[in-house]
Chain A
Amino acid sequence: MRVNFVLSEVAAGLRRNLTMTVAMILTTGISLGLMGTGLLIANMIGDMREIYYDKIQVSIYLADGITDPQRDAIAAQLDSSPEVKDYLYESKADAYARFTQQFQEQPALIANTPQDALPESFRVELVNPQRYPVIAEQFPNGQNGVDEVRDEGDFLDRLFSLLNGARNATIAVAVVQALAALLLISNTIQLAAFNRRNETNIMRLVGASRWYTQLPFILEAALAGLIGALLAIGGLVLTKILFVDKTLAGPIKAGIIPPVDWSAIAAISPVIAAAGVGLAAVAAYVTLRLYVRL
């Protein structure tokens, strides 16, 4: 294979169709960027599950007027329950400390919250998180110093279904955009093949192999796909620096939202690059097979 020949054909092809090439690179880049965002959100959801689900499952909020014997009785009941894997007692002071840490970026909120506003509670981890109703039954609301038993998992499920929805929407837009990118790639390759029909006709007649004739076109698309992928990765890096690390700095520091690590971007970058190059090359190949006589 004459590398110089193939590369010069690729370069000439990209130059000749400059506007189409730019359009092809941009749509591919946007599509891959959205795909990367979707993957990052998926990662984030996974991290958040670990943060939240592992820590708490059921909270037993205690009434303000609870007596020490009542509190001890609840602790004893939790100790003896086979449903309970572990539990943690959080006093009003503990709750306030956690609150101030979570909202340290919002001093006004902290200033307006009296120190004893947050209830004391038992944070309970279940052997089987699905068995929440059993615990709720054992500690009826409003009796024996219990104010309310709340399934935190239920709230988290709703939060995660929201995040999952965001992820799915991002990926759906990415798919539509990818379709546009594929059609554009197909169109560009047809145009490129038309522009070079004199060369390819002669190549066909003098017995150049199919592969030799098609390779410059496929490489042309693959190169555009690679540049699109690099743009997408650059976009993700900028998003991290300018949006995630700045605007979301507070919640991330407080541990509400997991940070987007460089390692996560590094992990999905090869996926994005492979998807860009692979899809473009396959689209080009299929186009040549279907629409172009070489």
Chain B
Amino acid sequence: MIELQHVTKVYPSSPRPALDDVSMQIDKGEFVFLIGSSGSGKSTFLRLLLKEDSPTKGVIKVNDKTLNTMSKWQVPKLRRTMGCVFQDFRLLTNKTVAENVAFALEVINKPQRTIKRVVPEVLEMVGLDGKENRLPGELSGGEQQRVAIARAFVNRPLVLLADEPTGNLDPETSQDIMLLLERINRTGTTVVMATHDYHIVDSMRRRVIELNDGILSRDQSRGVYGLGR
């Protein structure tokens, strides 16, 4: 599903590589936590998977496609197989909940018929039925993140990338979001979640990949956040 072979990423502005000879494999349907302190390379890792950036060295494969050799016009096709969720939700504040989700389908040319069918379905799945016509500003943080997850999932991606999705939420709301991500994972979607939230990592006991100054320092199935904690 996702494969990195000796991937190194050096940004011109910094002498130290953001990722340093990282190799790993994530299989279809896995749930993976990506942990590490700020600046450890988590965001770079996610950016490389989305081909927002290219590695300096090494090979990246997603869905058996080699990203290194992928041409620019093929990138949108790759991203249609991936969903993204962020700490800051990134919703369009002037569009309603339903419009925000529909937007993701409209801009990739899905027929209106399909959009009318799948948007209510996914909103029900994330527990937002009845709030279709609200604006993001009228929702709580947890609800806004549900909208973002609905938007990321509505096109049934193979991979869901989540960059600290609970970073702005209280513990209880975070738990709800994790339940939702687990549910999405059970549909067969691979979930890669970068996080600092050790409560969540420790309670879920899923595979943990830890980055330390760009170096892969731990890859442990059913892991916890930190051994010393």
Q: Which residues of A contact B (CB under 8 A)?
A: 1-2, 5, 198-199, 201-210, 212-213
- Are A207 and B92 within 8 A (Cβ)? no
11 more A-B contacts (CB under 8 A) besides A201-B90, A206-B155? A2-B106, A198-B92, A202-B103, A202-B151, A206-B80, A206-B108, A209-B73, A209-B108, A210-B72, A210-B76, A212-B109
In angstroms, Cα B84 to Cα A161, docked, is 67
Name the residue on B nearest A12 (C-beta). B94
- Are B84 and A205 within 8 A (Cβ)? yes
B118 to chain A, nearest CB (A): 14
In angstroms, Cα B24 to Cα A265, docked, is 69
| Neighbouring B residues of A210 by C-beta, 8 Å | 72-73, 76
| Neighbouring B residues of A2 by C-beta, 8 Å | 106, 109
| Neighbouring A residues of B50 by C-beta, 8 Å | 205
- Are A208 and B90 within 8 A (Cβ)? no
Q: Find A207's partner among B77, B103, B106 (CB 8 Å cutoff).
A: B77
| Neighbouring A residues of B155 by C-beta, 8 Å | 206
- Are B80 and A207 within 8 A (Cβ)? yes
Indicate whether B79 reaches chain A with its CB closer than 8 angstroms: yes
Indicate whether B48 reaches chain A with its CB closer than 8 angstroms: no
- Are B72 and A208 within 8 A (Cβ)? no
Question: Once A and B bind, how many residue pairs between them come within 8 Å at the CB atom?
Answer: 51
- Are B76 and A207 within 8 A (Cβ)? yes
A14 to chain B, nearest CB (A): 17
- Are B107 and A212 within 8 A (Cβ)? yes
Q: Find A205's partner among B72, B73, B79 (CB 8 Å cutoff).
A: B79
B98 to chain A, nearest CB (A): 15
| Neighbouring B residues of A202 by C-beta, 8 Å | 90, 92, 103-104, 107, 151
In angstroms, Cα B77 to Cα A203, docked, is 12
B79-90 vs A: 1/0 string, CB under 8 Å?
111101000001
Between B103, B107, B109, the greatest number of chain A beta carbons within 10 A of the residue's beta carbon is seen for B107
In angstroms, Cα B93 to Cα A202, docked, is 13
B155-192 vs A: 1/0 string, CB under 8 Å?
10000000000000000000000000000000000000
In angstroms, Cα B78 to Cα A209, docked, is 11
| Neighbouring A residues of B104 by C-beta, 8 Å | 202, 206
In angstroms, Cα B72 to Cα A208, docked, is 12
| Neighbouring A residues of B151 by C-beta, 8 Å | 202, 206
In angstroms, Cα B72 to Cα A204, docked, is 12
- Are A1 and B109 within 8 A (Cβ)? yes
| Neighbouring A residues of B90 by C-beta, 8 Å | 198, 201-202
27 pairs, A vs B, C-beta closer than 8 Å: A198-B90, A198-B92, A199-B92, A201-B90, A202-B90, A202-B107, A204-B79, A205-B50, A205-B79, A205-B84, A206-B79, A206-B84, A206-B104, A206-B107, A206-B108, A206-B151, A206-B155, A207-B75, A207-B76, A207-B108, A208-B76, A208-B108, A209-B73, A209-B76, A209-B108, A210-B76, A212-B108
